Amino acid sequence: MTRNLLAAGLVALAAAATAFEGGGSPDGILLVHGLLVTVVGLALLVPRQEAAGLAPVPAAGLAAFSAALLASAWQAPYGFAALLVVQDVAVGLAVVLLAAREREAAGAPPVRLALLAVASLQGALALGQWIAGSPRAAGSFLNPNHLGAWVAAVLLGALPPLLGAQGSIRTMALTLALPAVGALLATRSRGAVVGALTGLAVLLLLRWKGLSSRARGTALAGATVAALLALALLVSRSKEDDPYRWTRTRIWAASLSISAGAPWLGCGPGQFPAAAAGARFQDPVGPLHWERRFTTPHSDVLRLPAEFGLPAALAALAFLVAGLPGAVRRARASDGLAQASSLAGLTALFAQGAVDDLTSRPALVVLAALLLGPLWAREREPAGALPPGVRLALAGGLAVALLAGDVAPWLAWRTLAGIPRAEVSGGTLERALTWNPVHPDLHLRAAERIVRRGLRSPDDYARARAEAETAVRLSPREAGYRVGLARVEAAACRSLFPDEATRARAAAHYGEAVARSPRDASILLEEATFLLATGDTMGGERAARSALALEPEAVRPRLVLARALAARGEPAVTLLREAEERLARYAPVPKNSPYARLMLSAAPGELDALRAVVR
């Protein structure tokens, strides 16, 4: 009974993880973690007389990886982001251990059929989106590549052993597979296609010797059809006008540079977006050089050393390599079709994960762990049961961890969900901060609210500054929080303290933000505008010229620079004409980001006012 309950719990977890953007939204994270704690609590409170588990060598590799991950998280400057990543990894490790413990039930036909049913529902949803006009349907996932990866792994892991069944089970499996295959075509994901073909090749290699001549012919025919469909899809995607087709290779190079800068512990779990700000490269398309930015390495293989460090990457590799011979041996056995199909599904995920961020979706982490656990498990042996008091304490600790680490942050997010940033009330912010006092953005919002209301007294300034400084302390590498602190000082300089010391503090904070994001011209432009408004024309000119050096085609930095020169009586006609010419030239260009709208446009009346000053 316990075995069936745990298997049902793992299936429910894998199915529920596909909801809410593949488990990546706050609702999805809470759902996944809540279900996992329930399943782990069940395993603790209802012990087994005998159980399997990971083989000793893979278990040692997993322990080493966990230790390296915790060491990297300990030194991470942005603690809350590191906690979120540690939780994601803990989910995967827990599912691996549970699936290894219940390897027979976790890989049983009912589990595979249930996963295939979920893939069928996702396929039906994706096909509906495609019919409705979506060029690349994503089902309940946020990204079509992630949906394609999930469906491909399930098809490889579930369909082959179910096709070996008889009668209604086989018919049901084929019926469920059709919408799932349609989802692969609707997503038009090149990574998912490559992963599926790689997994299919592994499945054929593992089972080739055990196939009859007729079965070999059927398998080759099916593989040929799949390869032709995949080739047609790849050719179709290659004909599309995609100026960013090779941008991913430059992201990989930047990720390697981040890894080289911190080889032992990496930049830290969840710290990659801040580290990437200093490794950005020029946009190959459009008038702006630095509009596009990346926040992930677009490769799980590179994510390991870049975020967690080289020792963690080597430990993860040791875990996988140590368990692979036993998994291959089981897959090649006469009764190993189910194991071979699971290994093929894992191969599809690993192949696509080399060129994509699959671990950013909990649904894919749970699925990979569910497939991997039974393959890397040792033979069943008597289980050493923990004392009842210890088991009860562990279950209680998990419940407390869920409340503190998941429910409270979710309540903070839910408190502010749907409220525009500029309209949040003080009471609402206080409630959110009560639930999650370690999120820097909540403190920055509190500072912004005080500044929007106006700094009427030194007490207002002190409270706003304290909130902004707290945000900086909680995430010291993030340039945006430094900008928030600079805005507090700038507001104080414009109202309460119009002196050189306050202006210098604001300029210093802008400089620290630029040091953390040196290729963001918007920070320099904001600094130039502030300095010019407070009478520092030389400082405004310097910052505006720096912004223009980053974005030579930009309009707004030219206007600010022209204002700085005109304020000192220097010629600014040429800059004004250049700004007018570029404003007209780039008027038809779509401005899809706040950065583009800032750099390629002028405020209403700004040109007329500047023309009057220049004349």
CATH number, position 575:
1.25.40
Identify the weakest region by mean pLDDT among 148-152, 378-382, 554-558, 602-606.
Answer: 378-382
- Residue 68 sits at the vertex; the CA angle it makes with 65 and 70, to the nearest 5 degrees, is 110
DSSP line for 203-221 = HHHHHSTTS-HHHHHHHHH
Q: Write down which residue in 366, 385, 404 finishes a domain.
A: 385
Average pLDDT over residues 554-559: 95
- 318 against 4, higher pLDDT: 318
Tell me how far apart the alpha carbons of residues 73 and 271 are, in angstroms, rounded to a whole number: 9
Is residue 152 within 8 A of residue 192, CB to CB? The reply is yes
Same domain, 450 and 562: no
Whole-number Å distance between alpha carbons of 344 and 328: 11
* Mean confidence (pLDDT) of the chain: 90
Residue of 80, 155, 84, 77 whose CA lies nearest to 120: 155
How many structural domains is the chain composed of?
3
In a domain, 263, yes or no: yes
Residues in Cβ contact with 406 at an 8 Å cutoff, skipping those fewer than 6 apart: 29, 30, 33, 34, 87
pTM of the model: 0.94
User: Token pair of 45, please?
Assistant: 């409170």
288 vs 6: which has the higher pLDDT: 288
Tell whether 431 and 365 lie within a shared domain: no
The DSSP call for residue 294 is -
Domain containing 210: what range?
2-237+251-385
Q: How far is CA 420 from CA 137, 274, 481, 515, in A?
A: 28, 24, 19, 30
β-strands 50-51, 381-382: how paired?
A: antiparallel
25/247: higher pLDDT = 25
Tell me if residue 377 falls in helix, strand or coil.
Answer: strand
Cα(83)–Cα(73) distance, integer angstroms: 7
Q: Are 539 and 507 contained in the same domain?
A: no
Residues 498 and 524 occupy one common structural domain = no
Phi–psi pair at 381, nearest 5 degrees: -150, 165
In a domain, 396, yes or no: no
Provide the pLDDT for residue 358.
96
Please indicate, yes or no, if residue 410 is contained in any of the structural domains. Answer: no
Which residues in 277-425 belong to E strands, given as ranges?
Answer: 381-382
| Structure confidence at residue 166 (pLDDT) | 76
Least confident of 27-31, 352-356, 600-604, 610-614: 610-614
Percent of the chain surpassing pLDDT 90: 67
Token look-up 């994509």 returns 356
Q: Is the predicted pLDDT of residue 334 greater than 90, yes or no?
A: no
Residue 50, pLDDT score: 58
Question: What is the pLDDT at residue 221?
Answer: 76
Instruction: Find the radius of gyration of the CA atoms of the chain.
Output: 28
What is the structure's pLDDT at 1?
43
278 plus 154 within the same structural domain: yes
Q: Which CATH number characterizes residue 433's domain?
A: 1.25.40.10
Judge whether 114 and 508 are in contact, CB under 8 Å.
Answer: no
In this structure, is residue 404 part of a structural domain?
Answer: no
Decide if pLDDT at 246 tops 70: no
CA dist 137 and 128 (Å) reads: 8
Burial class (CB in 10 A: 0-12, 13-18, 19+), 553: middle
Taken as a whole, the chain contains a residue count of 615
Q: Mean pLDDT, to the nearest integer, of 475-497? A: 97
Query: Is position 418 within any domain?
Result: no
C-alpha torsion angle, residues 263, 264, 267, 268 (rounded to 10): 150
Residues 126 and 89 in one domain: yes
User: What is the pLDDT confidence band of residue 303, given thresholds at 50, 70 and 90?
Assistant: very high
Q: Poorest-confidence range of 18-27, 148-157, 295-304, 387-396?
A: 387-396
Q: Does 181 or 75 have the greater pLDDT score?
A: 75
Domain boundary among 519, 537, 559: 519
Average of pLDDT values for 306-310?
97
Q: State the pLDDT confidence band at 467, using cuts at 50, 70 and 90.
A: very high
Residues 303 and 329 in one domain: yes
Percent of the residues in the chain that have a pLDDT greater than 70, as a whole number: 93
pLDDT at residue 222 is higher than 90: no
Claim to verify: residue 110 and residue 193 sit in the same structural domain: yes
Query: Could you tell me if residue 340 is inside a domain?
Result: yes
Q: Are residues 267 and 381 in the same domain?
A: yes
Selection from 124, 160, 237 nearest residue 191 by Cα: 237
Domain boundary among 519, 539, 559: 519
C-alpha span between 531 and 539 (Å, rounded): 6
Residue 243 lies in a domain: no
Residues 514 and 524 both lie in one domain: no
The pLDDT of 301-311, averaged and rounded, is 97
Q: Are 224 and 269 in contact (CB under 8 A)?
A: no
- Residue 409 covered by a domain: no
Same domain? 458 vs 504? yes
Written as six digits, the tokens of 483 are: 């900008």
Residues 77 and 152 in one domain: yes
